[in-house]
Amino acid sequence: MNISHPVPARLIDCALTLLASGGESALTTRAVCGMAGVTAPTLYHHFGTLDGLRDSLRALPNHPRLTRARVADDEAALEFLAGRSEVRSRL
């Protein structure tokens, strides 16, 4: 992780790391903030809620890490990004 990244980018990068390593259940406010080195109010300032961060992740269809998840056919990541499994085929 590059600390010189803007805070929202760092939060997104940490959330992607947690999602890749532990699935959606690993994506908690405490885990994201701990990994990013920020407090929960910082996450709330930038994304409103943890759900806001999740929505931001789903809105990043061309992010390199998400593209790798698609190429690797990472089932958990694809279902998370789709929001539900029946949308997976459109990704």
Confidence band of 1 (pLDDT split at 50, 70, 90) = very low
Mean pLDDT, residues 65-72:
55
Count CB atoms within 10 A of the CB of residue 78.
18
State how far the Cα of 65 lies from the Cα of 20, in Å rounded to an integer.
9
pLDDT of residue 87: 39
φ, ψ of residue 83 to 5 degrees: the values are 85, -25
Confidence band of 83 (pLDDT split at 50, 70, 90) = low
Each residue's pLDDT tens digit, 5-51: 589 989 998 998 888 788 788 899 999 999 999 999 999 999 999 99
pTM of the model: 0.68
